[in-house]
C-alpha cells in the first residue's frame, strides 16, 4: 500500500481544470442523497454531481470504484501546537495526519505559546496555514487574555482576522462565572459559539484519571464525573439567562449527556461533541496503555460510554471531534500522576466512528453527518455539504478496508495513543481540499 501527499500550496490547479469522480457512491448527509453517480469539480468548486451526470470531455478521470464520496470530514477540536511547541506537532505535520484520516478542515485550539488571543498571533497562524498546511485551518480564539480567566480577549478584533470560528479557553475551563457571562454576551453579538472545556478544577483536585475502580486500584487521584457536570450545569444557567450559543467540548459523562438533552428540549442553543476515544474505550484502557490512555476529560466508565453512544443516536450529541493532543515521549514517559494529558486522534477518527456503523448503532448517514455538516453548523461554516458551487472539499472512503493502527506509522509528529494494535474497518483513500487531491492511499 502506498500513501502520497501533496500540499495545496504546491499543486497547479487552474480555475477551469475539471476532474470527474466516476463510479462514486455519492453521499450527502444533509440532503440524504445516497446514489451511484459522477461528481465533477471545476477548479476549487463542485460543478455538478448525480446519477445522470457524465464526465465532461477533457476532464481528468478519478475512478472511485463504487466507494463512498462524501463532503470532506471536519474535526472541530485539534491541538496542532503551533506556535510554541513545534517539537510536538506543527500545522504541517498535524494537517498531514489529518488528511491521511480524510479530514479537510480542522479547528485549532488556543492553548499555544503564545496563546491565540491577539490579532498578531492569529495572523501568523493564518499565514503559516497557507504555506504549510494540507487542509483548511480555523481556530477558536481564547476567551480570556492569556487564558488566565480574568480579562476578556478583544473578541471583535479577533473575529475580524477571518480565521476565528468561536471562542474557548480549552486546555482550561472558564471557572469565573462573571467572565463566562460576559463571554456569552459578546459572542452572541458576533454570532459565534462559546466552547467550554467543562471542568471544575477545584473538584478535579489534581486527579489524573477517572475516579472509579481503576483509580482506586492504581492508587492515583481521580477526576469525578461531577467535575464536568457542575460546570455544564452552571454554563447552561448562564446561557438561559444571557443568551448566546454554547458548545460543550469532548463530553465524557452520562450526566452531561443528560444535561444537554434536557437543555436542547427546552430550546436552548447548546451542542455537544464526543471524541472517538470516549465512545470507544473505558478507564480500563489505562491498565493496559498507561499514560497513553491519559487525557482530559479522562476515559470514563462503561455506563458513560454507552450514554455517549445513546446521545449520538438520539441527536443530543451532534458532532464527533478528536481533541487531537500530541505530546513528546518526555511528557508521557512519567508516572501516571505527573504525565501530560492528551492523545493523538485525527488519523483514526473515521474508522473509530465507522465502527458505530459497522456495529449497527448508527446509520452511515448519521455517522458522516457528525463529521461533516453538523460539525460545520456549530462553527458557522458553510462547508460539509455536497452542493453545486460549493468548495470542493471531498473524502473518498473505502468502508471495508481492514487495517491495524500502528502508532509508529502515524504521520503526526507525536505517537501518543492507546489505539496501537487496534484493528479497524474503513479508511479514507483520497482526500480532496479545494478541488486538489492532497492525499491518496492506493
The catalytic residue positions are: 323
| Residue 339 Cβ vs Zn ion, minimum distance, rounded to whole Å | 16
370: three-class secondary structure by DSSP: coil
Integer Cα distance of 285 and 290 in angstroms: 8
| Residue 168 Cβ vs Zn ion, minimum distance, rounded to whole Å | 8
- Of the candidate spans 11-19, 26-34, 197-205, 426-434, the one that interacts with Zn ion by CB under 5 A turns out to be 197-205
82: three-class secondary structure by DSSP: coil
- Of the candidate spans 195-203, 206-214, 238-246, 395-403, the one that interacts with Zn ion by CB under 5 A turns out to be 195-203
Q: Does 96 bind Zn ion (CB under 5 A)?
A: no
Give, for 92, the enclosing helix (H) or strand (E). Answer: helix 91-100
Q: Which is nearer to Zn ion, 227 or 395 (CB)?
A: 227
Q: Which three cell numbers stand for residue 379?
A: 462553527
- Of the candidate spans 31-39, 149-157, 162-170, 240-248, the one that interacts with Zn ion by CB under 5 A turns out to be 162-170
Q: Which is nearer to Zn ion, 170 or 381 (CB)?
A: 170
Q: Which is nearer to Zn ion, 296 or 395 (CB)?
A: 296
By 3-state DSSP, what share of the chain in percent is helix, strand and coil, each rounded to 5? 35, 25, 40
Q: Which is nearer to Zn ion, 25 or 197 (CB)?
A: 197
> Who contacts 189 (Cβ-Cβ below 8 Å, separation ≥6)?
none
Q: Does 197 bind Zn ion (CB under 5 A)?
A: yes
| Residue 341 Cβ vs Zn ion, minimum distance, rounded to whole Å | 8
- Of the candidate spans 123-131, 166-174, 269-277, 299-307, the one that interacts with Zn ion by CB under 5 A turns out to be 166-174
Q: Which is nearer to Zn ion, 292 or 437 (CB)?
A: 292
User: Are residues 140 and 170 in contact, defined by beta-carbon separation less than 8 angstroms?
Assistant: yes
Integer Cα distance of 162 and 362 in angstroms: 35
Q: Which is nearer to Zn ion, 81 or 436 (CB)?
A: 81
User: Are residues 340 and 282 in contact, defined by beta-carbon separation less than 8 angstroms?
Assistant: no
| Residue 203 Cβ vs Zn ion, minimum distance, rounded to whole Å | 16
| Residue 197 Cβ vs Zn ion, minimum distance, rounded to whole Å | 4
> Who contacts 123 (Cβ-Cβ below 8 Å, separation ≥6)?
161
Of 385, 346, 400, residue with least CA distance to 79 = 346
Q: Does 294 bind Zn ion (CB under 5 A)?
A: no
Q: Which is nearer to Zn ion, 168 or 424 (CB)?
A: 168
Exposure string for 128-146, b = 16+ CB within 10 A, e = fewer: bbeebbbbbbbbbbbbbee
β-strands 68-71, 3-5: how paired? Answer: unpaired
Of 148, 151, 167, residue with least CA distance to 159 = 167
Residue with cell 501516571: 336
Residue 96: is it exposed, middle or buried by C-beta count within 10 angstroms (0-12/13-18/19+)?
buried
Task: Tell me how many residues contact Zn ion (CB under 5 A).
Answer: 2
Q: Does 235 bind Zn ion (CB under 5 A)?
A: no
Within 10 angstroms of residue 425's Cβ, the number of other Cβ atoms is 15
Q: Taking the mean position of all CA atoms in its chain, how far away is CA 152? A: 25
Q: Does 170 bind Zn ion (CB under 5 A)?
A: yes
Of 208, 173, 204, 197, residue with least CA distance to 294 = 208
| Residue 282 Cβ vs Zn ion, minimum distance, rounded to whole Å | 19
Q: Which is nearer to Zn ion, 248 or 364 (CB)?
A: 248
Q: Does 211 bind Zn ion (CB under 5 A)?
A: no
- Of the candidate spans 18-26, 28-36, 140-148, 189-197, the one that interacts with Zn ion by CB under 5 A turns out to be 189-197
| Residue 250 Cβ vs Zn ion, minimum distance, rounded to whole Å | 6
Straight-line distance from the first to the last Cα atom of the chain, in angstroms, rounded to the nearest whole number? 6
| Residue 303 Cβ vs Zn ion, minimum distance, rounded to whole Å | 22
Residue whose Cβ sits closest to Zn ion: 197
Q: Does 324 bind Zn ion (CB under 5 A)?
A: no
List interacting residues with Zn ion (CB under 5 A).
Answer: 170, 197
Amino acid at each position: 500500500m502506498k500513501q502520497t501527499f501533496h500540499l495545496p500550496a504546491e499543486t497547479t490547479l487552474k480555475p477551469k481544470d475539471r476532474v470527474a469522480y466516476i463510479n462514486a457512491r455519492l453521499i450527502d448527509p444533509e440532503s440524504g442523497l445516497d446514489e451511484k453517480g459522477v461528481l465533477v469539480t471545476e477548479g476549487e468548486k463542485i460543478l455538478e454531481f448525480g446519477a445522470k451526470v457524465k464526465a465532461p470531455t477533457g476532464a481528468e478521470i478519478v475512478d472511485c470504484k463504487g466507494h463512498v464520496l462524501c463532503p470532506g470530514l471536519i474535526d472541530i477540536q485539534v491541538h496542532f501546537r503551533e506556535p510554541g511547541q513545534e517539537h510536538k506537532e506543527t500545522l504541517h505535520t498535524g494537517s498531514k495526519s489529518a488528511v491521511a484520516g480524510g479530514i479537510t478542515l480542522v479547528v485549532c485550539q488556543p492553548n499555544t505559546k503564545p496563546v491565540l488571543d491577539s490579532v498578531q498571533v492569529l495572523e501568523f497562524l493564518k499565514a503559516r496555514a497557507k504555506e504549510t498546511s494540507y487542509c483548511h485551518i480555523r481556530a477558536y480564539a481564547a476567551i480570556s487574555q492569556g487564558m488566565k480567566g480574568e480579562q476578556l480577549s478583544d473578541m471583535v478584533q479577533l473575529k475580524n482576522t477571518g480565521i476565528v470560528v468561536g471562542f474557548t479557553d480549552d486546555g482550561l475551563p472558564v471557572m469565573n462565572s462573571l467572565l463566562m457571562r460576559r463571554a456569552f454576551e459578546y459572542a452572541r453579538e458576533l454570532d459565534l459559539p462559546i466552547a467550554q472545556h467543562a471542568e471544575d478544577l477545584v473538584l478535579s483536585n489534581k486527579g489524573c484519571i477517572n475516579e472509579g475502580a481503576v483509580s482506586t486500584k492504581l492508587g492515583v487521584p481521580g477526576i469525578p464525573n461531577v467535575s464536568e457536570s457542575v460546570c455544564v450545569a452552571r454554563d447552561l444557567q448562564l446561557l438561559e439567562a444571557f443568551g448566546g450559543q454554547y458548545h460543550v467540548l469532548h463530553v465524557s459523562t452520562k450526566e452531561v449527556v443528560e444535561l444537554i438533552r434536557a437543555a436542547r428540549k427546552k430550546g436552548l442553543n447548546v451542542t455537544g461533541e464526543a471524541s472517538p476515544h470516549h465512545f470507544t474505550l473505558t478507564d480500563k484502557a489505562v491498565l493496559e496503555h498507561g499514560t497513553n490512555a491519559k487525557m482530559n476529560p479522562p476515559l470514563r466508565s462503561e455506563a458513560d460510554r454507552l450514554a455517549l453512544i445513546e446521545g449520538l443516536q438520539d441527536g443530543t450529541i451532534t458532532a464527533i471531534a478528536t481533541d487531537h493532543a500530541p505530546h513528546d515521549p518526555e511528557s508521557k514517559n512519567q508516572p501516571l500522576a505527573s504525565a501530560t494529558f492528551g492523545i493523538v486522534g485525527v488519523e483514526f477518527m473515521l474508522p473509530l466512528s465507522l465502527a458505530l456503523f459497522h456495529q449497527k448503532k448508527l446509520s452511515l448517514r448519521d455517522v458522516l453527518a457528525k463529521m461533516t455538516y453538523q460539525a460545520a453548523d456549530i462553527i458557522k461554516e458553510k462547508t460539509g455539504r455536497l452542493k453545486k458551487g460549493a468548495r470542493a472539499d471531498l473524502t473518498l472512503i473505502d468502508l471495508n478496508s481492514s487495517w491495524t493502527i500502528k502508532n509508529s506509522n502515524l504521520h503526526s509528529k507525536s505517537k501518543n495513543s492507546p489505539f496501537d494494535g487496534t484493528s479497524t474497518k474503513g479508511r479514507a483513500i483520497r482526500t480532496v481540499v479545494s478541488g486538489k487531491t492532497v492525499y491518496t492511499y492506493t
